[in-house]
Amino acid sequence: MDERGLHRLIGTIIAPEHLEDDCAVVPCADRLMVVSTDMLHETTDFPAGMTDWQAGWMAVAVTLSDVASMGAAPGQVLLAVGLDRPERLRGIMEGARDCCAAFGAELVGGDLDAHSELTLVSTGIGWVEPGYLVRRRGARPGDAVAVTGRLGEAQAALNGWEQHRRELLEPQPRVREGQALARAGVSAMMDISDGLALSLYDLLAVNDCGFAIDTARLPLPAGVPVEEGRLLALYGGGDFELLFCAPQGVVPVAGVEAHVIGEVIDERVVLADGEPLEPRGYLHEWSG
Ligand SMILES: Nc1ncnc2c1ncn2[C@@H]1O[C@H](COP(=O)(O)OP(=O)(O)O)[C@@H](O)[C@H]1O
Ligand SMILES: Cc1ncc(C[n+]2csc(CCOP(=O)(O)OP(=O)(O)O)c2C)c(N)n1
Ligand SMILES: [Mg+2]
Ligand SMILES: [Mg+2]
Ligand SMILES: [Mg+2]
């Protein structure tokens, strides 16, 4: 059983539309509040050699990435710490605080308990005017499909490409870019935490159209052979770039480094170079 299968179960218990986006959306006077929470564990999320400061940074970055994907401005963050050793706390809190500060958020609370495996749960709140909210749903046939930054860098580092360790250990949420894309009029957006392929299937699940990408157009990790780089870009997790669809004429958006990688099509399929793309990537799995 994997994460996506269990999400379907959750969708039979709470309203399934609550599972459609990177954040929950809560009306709040004349603005919308978006909220995301994410859990990280030492064994699955903190690679060997990661510092405590980097673990705190990453916990906040992954949540701010979800906030960014809605076109929202980060506001407040809470961090719950399941702490294995007390001497780790200072570094973790400083990393979390510094990531908040770097992206215009404030760390305003959290929780603390003792736990055998270091576990960080970050909750991020963001704010957006109703006209600029962007959801995963909204893609239209003929839109361009595009991504910010480069893909596959975090997984490249895990594969031993040392020049990409910083991207793995200190992900940079595309906070400024998310808001600029929203204001420019993109039609659908999400962040890519589990790899491009799974993210395209996540978009497919909530849109009435499909996606055709051209692998020659993927922005690949620098210094990695092209064939390996292409696999990393399609199936590697941990990138935290934005994947978005944009009506013709919207991209390029000033100040946003993005690459068009394909287009939205009528047929509800995900194609890469004309063939169905394997729905493979980073998935939490359970045995049995
Ligand atoms: N245990 C849960 N209860 C309710 N909603 C959940 C749960 N786990 C995940 N979700 C929701 O499912 C959607 C997908 O989750 P996830 O894959 O973690 O998104 P993301 O990769 O953006 O963090 C999100 O809207 C998230 O809020
Ligand atoms: C040991 C280890 N493997 C891989 C990564 C890269 N990485 C960071 S988050 C992530 C996947 C996304 O995490 P998840 O808990 O699924 O977050 P969500 O999709 O909910 O944002 C990956 C592959 C890592 N940081 N550490
Ligand atoms: Mg997300
Ligand atoms: Mg999540
Ligand atoms: Mg994930």
* CATH code for the domain of 161: 3.90.650.10
Q: Does 66 show up as a binding residue in the annotation?
A: yes
Q: Is the pLDDT of residue 104 over 80?
A: yes
Check whether residue 223 and residue 189 sit in a common domain. yes
- Confidence (pLDDT) at 287: 83
Q: Dihedral angle at the C-alpha atoms of 139, 140, 143, 144, nearest 10 degrees?
A: 30
Residue 281 domain flag: no
Last residue of a domain, one of 69, 100, 131: 131
CA distance 255 to 19: 31
Length of the chain: 288
Check whether residue 100 and residue 154 sit in a common domain. no
Q: Is the pLDDT of residue 66 over 80?
A: yes
Instruction: Report which protein residue has its CA nearest ligand 2's atom 4.
Output: 45
Instruction: Report which bound ligand comes closest to the CA of 34.
Output: 1
Last residue of a domain, one of 131, 154, 182: 131
Residue 167 domain flag: yes
Last residue of a domain, one of 116, 131, 146: 131
pLDDT tier for residue 17 given thresholds of 50, 70 and 90? very high
CA distance 58 to 122: 10
CA distance 243 to 147: 5
- Name the residue range of residue 263's domain: 135-274
Cis check: omega of the bond before 86, within 30 degrees of 0: no
How much distance in Å is there from the Cα of 274 to the middle of ligand 4?
30
Check whether residue 126 and residue 35 sit in a common domain. yes
- Confidence (pLDDT) at 236: 98
* DSSP 8-state symbol, 52: H
Residue 285 domain flag: no
State the average pLDDT for the chain: 98
Check whether residue 93 and residue 206 sit in a common domain. no
Residues with CB under 5 A from ligand 4 (ion): 38
Instruction: Report which protein residue has its CA nearest ligand 1's atom 8.
Output: 7
Residue 282 domain flag: no
Check whether residue 56 and residue 123 sit in a common domain. yes
Check whether residue 146 and residue 263 sit in a common domain. yes
Residues enclosing ligand 2, CB less than 6 A? 38, 44-45, 47, 62, 154, 158, 193-194, 237-238, 282
CATH number, domain of 120, equals: 3.30.1330.10
CA distance 263 to 165: 31
How much distance in Å is there from the Cα of 234 to the middle of ligand 4?
19
Residue 265 domain flag: yes
Check whether residue 74 and residue 201 sit in a common domain. no
Residue 16 domain flag: no
Check whether residue 262 and residue 162 sit in a common domain. yes
Instruction: Provide the domain count of the chain.
Output: 2
Q: What is the pTM of this model?
A: 0.98
pLDDT, tens digit, for every residue of 199-258? 999 999 999 999 999 999 999 999 999 999 999 999 999 999 999 999 999 999 999 999
Check whether residue 127 and residue 202 sit in a common domain. no
Q: Which of 7, 65, 155, 282 to mutate to test the pocket of ligand 2 (most atoms within 8 A of CB)?
A: 282
pLDDT, tens digit, for every residue of 105-121? 999 999 999 999 999 99
Ligand 1 atom closest to the CA of 38, numbered from 1? 23
How much distance in Å is there from the Cα of 20 to the middle of ligand 5?
14
Check whether residue 169 and residue 121 sit in a common domain. no
Check whether residue 111 and residue 139 sit in a common domain. no
Residues enclosing ligand 1, CB less than 6 A? 7, 10, 14, 19, 21-22, 38, 66, 193
Q: Does 51 show up as a binding residue in the annotation?
A: no
Ligand 1 atom closest to the CA of 18, numbered from 1? 25
Exposure class string for 77-113: b at 16+ Cβ within 10 A, else e? bbbbbbbeeeebeebbbebbbbbbebbebebeebeee
Residue 82 domain flag: yes
Residue 2 domain flag: no
Instruction: Report which bound ligand comes closest to the CA of 120.
Output: 2
Check whether residue 106 and residue 145 sit in a common domain. no
Ligand 2 atom closest to the CA of 45, numbered from 1? 26
